[in-house]
Amino acid sequence: MRLEIDVLKTFIAVAETGSVKHAAERVARSPAAVSMQMKKLERLFGAPVFHRAEGAMRLSDSGDRLMPHAHRIVEANDTALTALRSPDIHGMVRIGLCLENIETRMPEILAGFSRVHSGVTVNINAGDAQDLAEMLSTGALDIAILTTGGGAPHLEQDRLLYEQPLVWATHKNSQRICESPLQIAAAPPGCPWRDAALDALKRAGIEYRIAYLSNVSESQLAAVRADLAVAALPASRVVNSTHPIRVNNDLPKLPYTKMVLRTSDKSDVNTKALAKQILAAFKRPI
């Protein structure tokens, strides 16, 4: 018995998107193939790795134990392949990350890049999508990972890393849903998730009040966990959060959120190498 890299990549995709369908789109397989791979894992462990709750795929106890090992195995595999295929490069590459993307796989991907290309200094800048897009256009950054929307519209040259639906996160026994105005936890202006949430509420004629401001999604979830507010966040953040948070389908439907890779017009060898590793990590065409 052995853990297969492709199966582990699919497992991670299902966990991060909370959906077989969306995971299938990410790994370029059919939903049926994704389901078969998850059944293969379940036969290997003799226990389910996911269970369905409130319309989404949540990690089971076995799946939760597997997740950190899956990330390490996949990262080691990708790092080895990159090291064997990559030229010896030196210098610096400047990358911009939205604060919400720092909470994703990007730190481990950047760490893997540094291990492969020890001669390259990775200069990380954090900020909101609008500021990073501006820095990229003026030459202050070489590459950026952006959540598009709002002040950072999608550009033709953007490379999609992944997309998933935004959902409303509420307390399981929320007393806030029927309140007027609706209490909202959101990021400061400029965040695409905030823009999508407020637009949806306005279109539905629902009065709201922004009660909690934070550019870190976990802080917004803390307000939801205490039943002080509701928040609009990517599905994976909500379905994998701890009790008593759940997805609420009674509030207005929200759009998808997209995380994209954008490079400067004058990409050097370092920028291209980092872009290649990021695309490979998200199993996107290079």
Q: Which two structure tokens, joined as six digits, stand for 119?
A: 């001669």
User: For 152-202, how does the pLDDT look when each residue is reduced to its tens digit (9 = 90+)?
Assistant: 788 889 999 888 889 999 998 888 888 899 999 999 887 889 999 999 999
Instruction: Supply the pLDDT for residue 150.
Output: 63
Rounded CA-CA distance 98/42 in Å is 35
Query: Across residues 131-155, what is the average pLDDT?
Result: 87
Rounded CA-CA distance 198/209 in Å is 10
Give the chain's end-to-end CA distance (angstroms, integer): 32
In the predicted model, what is the mean pLDDT of the chain? 88
Instruction: Supply the pLDDT for residue 102.
Output: 62
Instruction: Supply the pLDDT for residue 243.
Output: 74
Instruction: Supply the pLDDT for residue 271.
Output: 95
Q: Tell me, yes or no, if the pTM score tops 0.75.
A: no
Amino acid at 163: E
pLDDT of residue 87 exceeding 80, the answer is no
Window from 17-21, 200-204, 226-230 with minimum mean pLDDT: 17-21
Backbone angles phi, psi at 241, to 5 degrees: -80, 165
Query: Across residues 49-69, what is the average pLDDT?
Result: 87
- Please indicate whether residue 55 or residue 233 has the higher confidence score (pLDDT): 233
Domains and CATH numbers, the chain: 5-83 (1.10.10.10), 88-162+259-281 (3.40.190.10), 163-256 (3.40.190.10)
Instruction: Supply the pLDDT for residue 151.
Output: 65
Q: In this structure, are residues 56 and 105 in contact, taking their beta carbons and an 8 Å threshold?
A: no
